[in-house]
């Protein structure tokens, strides 16, 4: 034991004398500090929910990420501790002493363990310090509860150090090579990244075993906390109880502690405490290397004796070129022969291939691996490696001669400094190009494996070599410059990494301008429809700007290069002044290029366009609300007719036009002022058909007030004309208008004047509202509010309108808008279209789309006549066109039968660029993003047909949103989105059956339960939902689907039909506004078709927030005398009522719940028995007789109810 303590004390003393220990501590201190103090740095602070920044969940999350990113630090401490004796040859002394394995290995290990724990303890202190930072969001800071910081650290970080540290220590002791230790750390890091990519793409809903086997903790954390509410995230910690989350945390910790103990046992068994055994292998390697060197140099010696060469001194261009080529080849060989390079290459290829395999997949939905998706996947995975190689090998190339003590000879060679430097730069560039090529080949390989052969090699070339390589080159030049001016290679590495990381940190603190974020470029998105489009110019000029600056730094690197005995920066600066003449031309050129490109970038982004950072944009929104909110309830006329002439100019990403509104006063009092919101600052030359004058206009003309000399009386009409336009000039530093594209323009009515105050302009993020000194966002009024009931959910400025437009575009494109095509012609190289809705009134919701389309047509025979189905798509995107047509025809047939006739003669789907990722239902016209549909791939019958679902969801809005619109009150979003969701679910059910729907509903339930934990205000019951999309989409669809199962699809559809027929087109064709329907009438319609014994389900589902906890304890099958099987099930059920924050109160269970018995292999089970049975509180036993031997049984086995843990609803049947 005394020797153990000696080694232990020595290790601790060594570690606490080392500056690296305190650097590691500082890293974790500032990491944790920024996670709380910076609004966008950490995984929790970047969200805008109500989760405490210094609460238990936030600390757990921060510690999990530290466990992941800290793998290399753990490897550095534990690996070097045992290798130090071998590197310094102290084993020659140590192992001649009577030292036991326990003393030597135990002391080293224990000292390293405590030193590592100290280094990571910076997390705890950083979290506490961040809680007091002025920049932290104080509304999300709780008083200090020490256990909230200590328990996650002990449970996660300390156990993680114990496991990974032991693993690295054992590998280092057995192999005695630090390279193997770092390789192991990097491999574990990358393999875990690959696993996370697979996990994210497949979005598994059963996480118990993934959580148990997770060696780091990210999946473990998700398996435990994925359904925690805000209250739970702010109060709960991981529990070691075997009953908490199925015991997943306990089993995970026990597993990896056991693995660590086994590693120690194996180390004890196989580590030889013998000097002979430890040195035998090293001696053999040295002997082999000496023999090889003898063989290599023998011929040289022989030739040297035979003749003496004649030296001819030549110092011209040809000599410099030969030196450059020779040195470049040598340095390329040095890099590619380096084992770490091959390790990085293999890891990069593995990550790229893995990411390529899952390219574009989301929640189990497969897609065709089109080139832009493949590049996005493989390049995203490989980018980190590009910068690692740039950072590491720039340092190696600059410091190689000094590291090998060869600088004396090297510096005396008759060779220009520029030749030497350029050869280093070229070598590293060649290596990076090789890495880029490998990444591209990985993408092509994965496309080939997936059966996709449209490779688009030109797109690979553009993205990898034209866009990405220059950005990598910028950091290569920076790395060379930094390594040249500092006197320590590792400090140079740290500076380069810091510059790389500081981009994100500075951006989050408001430093958003590309001109002063080193190497930054404005964001861009490649689209199959529009290519690089309008992003080309800002990309080119920003790259030119930073590349010129980096090249200037490269010139300085040449002038400041170390040569000779004077190595100090001061001495080299003095020599630079003396020898700068030869570098001045190049430096001047690069400075001029930087100044010119920077000026042009500034001119476009700050002069031709107004530069606004995110804070300034929020200020504009806040000023709008502060100044004009008082006019929100001011009576204004409503639009009856909208008529326009719009000219879309795709080549310049612009449009111009004129518009006409027919307005009517639907109030009982005269209106003397017309207020107009000009949200996009696109409206000008407003006029009316009676005398008027401008009262006031806000900055940017965002809000304009006009006074009518003669007030507009009740039921009187007023003609309003205006111009709309947007002219693109130059380019922007980000914030490009995604609506305008060379191919795929998609403008909506937000570019038109909005009558009155528009609440949609207001800031919605609670944190941003506090920063702008705004109160809480006003929610939708309560149901029955007298004033709000007269306004529809979607707009305050109209009820239903007549619509007509003439829209033109370039000659090679098609322009579309809602309405029927009544005229098409060409004139002066432009293509004109006139669309008119005729006598059919529509919601005040229109758009303009222009693109070079291929059109696929079909026809559906509707109740009122044929309906034309048209898909406007990119010629290359034919994958899902037929699926969209099939979904449209099936949806039309189902919706007409179930709800009401389709009100239009056409239904069109229009593809638009993936700059925005949604589909939106306008009257008979649905713009549909290329990033959401068009490239889905159904590989197996069990795959989710997401395109089919989205198509039917948007089609359903032609009923729920374009026939029925609710009042602008709480709950009305449900009558639009929930009913569209339900309609699409039933259309899918009719197509694919209940077995297919089970998988889809599991995803929907998962998304709802996760959404509860990100709530920014409070969750409301479905019938009173506000802006909680996860409620009206996922929960609403789940509940309506379950209700159809409980009362029958026909009865539910009848309730919807009756409700729709009573309230559709409310306020159409009236001069006096009447109340729109709300969810009180909707729920009443449901109750009329619901039996008395199921009225509780209506209450639980629509008026309350109710969750179940159903589980099955056992299921046993016993053969009967008549060759059947009696299945005995023991189940347990509980029900909770939740408030808006997640606090739960137990409820009495007296519910009808499915009890099911199944047979067949996993995922292919067929029901032998599936009936609803009355279930009560606590445990209950059911006995069911079936004809076959069952395989599984359960309670609510198809997850129709809102159950936070559906995984325990089923179990295998035993005999």
- Sorting pLDDT into bands at 50, 70 and 90, what band is 242? confident
Q: Do 274 and 332 belong to one domain? A: no
Count how many residues are written for the chain: 1215
Amino acid 312: pLDDT: 58
pLDDT band at 203; cut points 50, 70, 90:
low
Confidence band (pLDDT; 50, 70, 90) for 800?
very high
67 and 190 housed in the same domain: yes
- Residue that terminates a domain, selected from 577, 608, 639: 608
DSSP conformation letters of 80-112 = HHHHHHHHTTTHHHHTTS---HIIIIIHHHHHH
Residue appearing with tokens 């309730």: 1055
Residue in 85, 88, 118 with CA at minimum distance from that of residue 15 = 118
Q: Model confidence over 345-364: pLDDT tens digits?
A: 988 998 899 889 888 776 66
Of 223, 255, 282, which one is at a domain's C-terminal end? 282
Residue 927: φ, ψ to 5°:
-65, 135
pLDDT tops 50 at residue 939: yes
pLDDT for the residue numbered 755: 97
Structure tokens at 1110: 């159903």
pLDDT higher than 50, residue 585: yes
Angle between helices 536-559 and 584-602 (to 10 degrees): 150
pLDDT digits (tens, 9 = 90+) for 439-477: 999 999 999 999 999 999 999 999 999 999 999 999 999
Whether 753 is covered by a domain: the verdict is: no
**pLDDT of 489:** 81
In a domain, 421, yes or no: yes
DSSP labels, 1033-1102:
IIIHHHHHHHHHHHH-HHHHHHHHHHHHHHHTTTTTT-SS--PPP-HHHHHHHHHHTS-GGGHHHHIIII
pLDDT at 297: 43
As a whole number, mean pLDDT of residues 1205-1214 equals: 90
Q: Please tell me whether residues 250 and 383 are part of one structural domain.
A: no
Domain count, the chain: 3
Do 449 and 564 reside in the same domain of the chain? yes
By mean pLDDT, which of 150-164, 790-804, 1158-1172 is the weakest? 1158-1172
Assess whether pLDDT exceeds 80 at residue 1180: yes
DSSP strand E in 783-846: where? 798-810, 814-816, 820-827, 830-836, 842-843
Does any domain span residue 627?
no
- From 282, 311, 345, give the residue that closes a domain: 282
Are 73 and 24 in contact, with CB atoms under 8 Å apart? yes
Looking at residue 278, its pLDDT comes to: 54
Closest to 1213 in 3D by CA, of 1111, 1112, 1116, 1113: 1116
Outline where 711-862 has alpha helix (H): 766-771
Q: By the 8 A CB rule, do 814 and 873 touch?
A: no
Structural domain harbouring 509: 324-608
Please spell the DSSP secondary structure of 910-930, one letter per residue.
EEE-TTS--B--BTTEEEEET
Does residue 1041 come out as left (phi exceeding 0), alpha (psi in the -120 to 50 range) or beta? alpha
Q: What is the pTM of this model?
A: 0.90
Residues 214 and 125 in one domain: yes
Same domain, 155 and 81: yes
SS (H, E, C) 930-998: CCCCCCECCCCCCCCCHHHHHHHHHHHCCCECCCECCECCCCHHHHHHHHHHHHHHHHHHHHHCHHHHH
The 10 Å Cβ neighbour count of residue 700 is 12
Asked whether residue 434 is domain-assigned, the answer is: yes
Report yes or no on 1006 lying in a domain: no
Question: What whole-number percentage of the chain has pLDDT above 70?
Answer: 90
Nearest to 972 by CA among 1060, 1079, 1073, 1075: 1079
Radius of gyration of the chain (CA): 35
pLDDT at 235 (0 to 100)? 92
Cβ atoms of 235 and 57 closer than 8 Å: no
**Are 842 and 817 a contacting pair, CB within 8 Å?**
no
Are 129 and 263 within one domain? yes
576 lies in a domain? yes
Question: CA 1135, CA 1153: separation in Å to the nearest integer?
Answer: 12
Residues 262, 355: one domain? no
Q: How many CA atoms lie within 13 A of 1053 on its CB side?
A: 15
The separation between CA 260 and the C-alpha centre of its own chain, rounded to angstroms, equals: 34
Do residues 370 and 253 both lie within one domain? Answer: no
Going by pLDDT thresholds of 50, 70 and 90, the confidence category of residue 187 is confident
Average pLDDT along the chain: 89
Quote the pLDDT of residue 102.
79
Determine contact, residues 698/717, Cβ cutoff 8 Å. no
Which residues, 6 or more positions from 540, have their beta carbon under 8 angstroms from its beta carbon? none
Task: Pick the more confident residue, 1157 or 491.
Answer: 1157
Tell whether 367 and 263 lie within a shared domain: no
Q: Tell whether the model's pLDDT for residue 833 goes beyond 80.
A: yes
366 is a domain residue: yes
What values do phi and psi take at 954, rounded to 5? -70, -35
> Are residues 340 and 278 part of one domain?
no
Q: What is the pLDDT of residue 929?
A: 96
Rounded Cα distance, 197 and 781, in Å: 43
Q: How many CA atoms lie within 13 A of 552 on its CB side?
A: 15
**Residues 20, 161 share a domain:** yes
In degrees rounded to 5, what are phi and psi of residue 241? -70, 140
Answer yes or no: is 115 within a domain. Answer: yes
Angle at 1070 between CA 1068 and CA 1072, to 5 degrees: 125
């Amino acid at each position: 034991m005394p020797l153990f303590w000696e080694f232990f004390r020595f290790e601790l003393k060594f570690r606490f004398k080392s500056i690296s220990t305190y650097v590691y501590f500082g890293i974790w201190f500032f990491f944790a500090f920024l996670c709380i103090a910076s609004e966008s740095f950490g995984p929790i602070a970047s969200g805008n929910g109500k989760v405490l920044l210094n609460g238990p969940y936030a600390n757990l999350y921060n510690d999990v990420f530290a466990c992941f990113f800290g793998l290399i630090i753990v490897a550095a401490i534990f690996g070097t501790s045992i290798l130090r004796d071998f590197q310094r040859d102290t084993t020659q002394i140590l192992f001649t002493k009577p030292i036991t394995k326990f003393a030597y290995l135990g002391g080293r290990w224990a000292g390293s363990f405590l030193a590592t724990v100290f280094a990571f303890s910076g997390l705890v202190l950083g979290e506490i310090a961040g809680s007091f930072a002025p920049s932290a969001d104080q509304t999300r800071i709780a008083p200090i509860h020490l256990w909230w910081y200590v328990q996650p650290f002990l449970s996660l970080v300390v156990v993680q150090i114990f496991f990974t540290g032991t693993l690295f220590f054992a590998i280092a002791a057995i192999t005695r090579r630090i390279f193997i230790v770092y390789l192991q750390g990097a491999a574990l890091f990358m393999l875990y990244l690959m696993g996370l990519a697979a996990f994210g793409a497949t979005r598994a809903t059963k996480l118990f075993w993934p959580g148990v086997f997770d060696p780091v903790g990210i999946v473990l954390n998700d398996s435990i906390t994925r359904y925690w509410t805000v209250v739970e995230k702010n109060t709960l910690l991981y529990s070691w109880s075997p009953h908490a989350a199925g015991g997943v945390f306990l089993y995970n910790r026990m597993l990896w502690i056991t693995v660590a103990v086994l590693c120690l046992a194996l180390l004890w068994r196989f580590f030889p405490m013998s000097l002979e055994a430890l040195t035998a292998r090293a001696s053999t390697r040295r002997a082999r290397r000496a023999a090889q060197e003898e063989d290599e140099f023998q011929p040289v010696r022989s030739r040297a004796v035979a003749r003496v060469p004649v030296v001819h001194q030549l110092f011209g261009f040809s000599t410099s070129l030969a030196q450059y080529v020779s040195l470049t080849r040598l340095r390329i060989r040095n890099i590619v022969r380096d084992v770490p390079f091959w390790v990085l290459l293999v890891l990069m290829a593995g990550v790229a291939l893995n990411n390529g395999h899952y390219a574009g997949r989301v929640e189990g939905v497969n897609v065709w691996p089109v080139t832009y998706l493949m590049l996005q996947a493989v390049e995203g995975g490989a980018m980190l490696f590009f910068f690692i190689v740039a950072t590491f090998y720039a340092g190696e190339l600059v410091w190689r001669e000094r590291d090998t003590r060869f600088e004396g000879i090297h510096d005396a060679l008759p060779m220009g400094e520029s030749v030497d430097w350029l050869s280093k730069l070229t070598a590293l560039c060649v290596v990076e190009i090789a890495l880029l090529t490998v990444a591209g080949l990985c993408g092509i390989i994965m496309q080939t494996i997936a059966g996709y052969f449209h490779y688009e090699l030109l797109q690979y070339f553009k993205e990898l070599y034209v866009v990405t390589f220059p950005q990598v080159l910028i950091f290569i030049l920076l790395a060379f410059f930094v390594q040249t001016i500092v006197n320590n290679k590792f400090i140079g590495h740290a500076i380069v990494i810091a510059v790389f990381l500081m981009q994100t940190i500075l951006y989050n603190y408001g430093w958003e301008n590309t001109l002063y974020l080193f190497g930054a470029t404005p964001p861009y998105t490649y689209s199959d429809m529009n290519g690089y489009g309008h992003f080309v110019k800002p990309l080119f000029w920003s790259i030119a700007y930073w590349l010129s600056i980096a090249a200037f730094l490269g010139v300085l690197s040449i002038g400041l290069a170390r040569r000779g005995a004077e190595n100090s920066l001061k001495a080299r600066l003095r020599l630079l002044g003396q020898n700068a003449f030869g570098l001045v031309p190049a430096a001047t050129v690069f400075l001029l290029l930087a100044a010119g490109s920077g000026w042009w970038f500034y001119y476009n982004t700050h002069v031709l366009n107004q530069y606004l950072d995110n804070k300034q944009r929020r200020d504009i929104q806040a000023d709008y609300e502060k100044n004009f909110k008082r006019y929100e309830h001011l009576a204004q006329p409503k639009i009856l007719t909208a008529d326009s002439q719009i000219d879309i100019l795709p080549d310049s990403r612009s449009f111009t036009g004129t518009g006409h509104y027919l307005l009517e006063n639907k109030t009982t009092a005269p209106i003397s002022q017309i207020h107009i919101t000009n949200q996009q600052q696109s409206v000008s030359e407003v006029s009316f058909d009676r005398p008027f004058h401008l009262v006031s206009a806000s900055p940017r003309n965002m809000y304009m007030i006009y006074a009518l000399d003669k007030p507009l009386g009740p039921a009187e009409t007023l003609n309003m004309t205006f111009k709309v336009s947007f002219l693109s000039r130059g380019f922007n530093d980000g914030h490009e208008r995604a609506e305008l594209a060379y191919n795929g323009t998609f403008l909506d009515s937000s570019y038109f004047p909005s009558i009155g105050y528009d609440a949609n302009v207001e800031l919605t993020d609670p944190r941003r509202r506090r920063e702008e000194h705004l109160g809480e966002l006003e929610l939708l009024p309560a149901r029955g509010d007298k004033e709000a009931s007269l306004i529809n959910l979607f707009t305050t400025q109209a009820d239903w309108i007549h619509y007509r437009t003439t829209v033109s575009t370039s000659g090679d494109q098609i322009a579309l808008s809602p309405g029927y095509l009544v005229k098409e012609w060409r004139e002066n190289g432009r293509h004109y279209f006139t669309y008119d809705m005729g006598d059919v009134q529509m919601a005040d919701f229109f758009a303009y789309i222009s693109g070079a389309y291929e059109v696929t047509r079909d026809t559906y025979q509707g109740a009122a006549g044929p309906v034309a189905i048209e898909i406007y798509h990119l010629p290359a995107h034919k994958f899902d066109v037929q699926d969209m047509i099939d979904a449209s025809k099936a949806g039309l047939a189902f919706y007409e039968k179930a709800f009401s006739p389709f009100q239009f003669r056409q239904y069109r789907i229009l593809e638009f660029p993936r700059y925005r990722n949604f589909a939106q239902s306008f009257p008979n016209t649905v713009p549909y993003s290329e990033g959401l549909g068009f490239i889905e791939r159904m590989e197996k019958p069990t795959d989710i047909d997401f395109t089919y679902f989205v198509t039917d969801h948007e089609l359903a809005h032609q009923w729920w949103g374009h026939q029925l619109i609710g009042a602008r009150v709480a709950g009305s979003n449900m009558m639009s989105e929930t009913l569209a969701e339900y309609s699409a679910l039933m259309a899918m059910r009719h197509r694919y059956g209940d077995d297919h729907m089970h998988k889809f509903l599991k995803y929907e339930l998962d998304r709802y339960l996760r959404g509860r934990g990100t709530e920014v205000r409070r969750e409301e019951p479905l019938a009173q939902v506000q802006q909680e999309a996860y409620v009206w989409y996922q929960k609403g669809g789940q509940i309506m689907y379950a209700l159809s199962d409980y009362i029958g699809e026909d009865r539910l559809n009848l309730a919807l039909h009756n409700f729709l027929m009573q309230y559709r087109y409310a306020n159409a064709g009236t001069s006096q506004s009447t109340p729109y329907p709300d969810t009180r009438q909707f729920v009443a319609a449901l109750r009329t078709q619901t039996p008395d014994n199921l009225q509780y389900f209506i209450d639980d589902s629509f008026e309350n927030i109710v969750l179940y906890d159903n589980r099955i304890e056992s299921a046993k099958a016993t053969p009967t005398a008549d060759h059947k099987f009696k299945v005995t099930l023991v189940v347990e059920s509980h029900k909770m009522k939740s408030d808006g924050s997640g606090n739960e109160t137990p409820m009495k269970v007296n519910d009808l719940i499915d009890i099911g018995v199944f047979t067949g292999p996993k995922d292919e089970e067929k029901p032998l028995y599936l009936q609803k049975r009355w279930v009560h509180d606590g445990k209950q036993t059911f006995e069911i007789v079936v004809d076959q031997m069952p395989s599984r049984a359960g309670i609510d086995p198809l997850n129709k109810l809102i159950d936070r843990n559906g995984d325990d609803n089923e179990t295998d049947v035993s005999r």
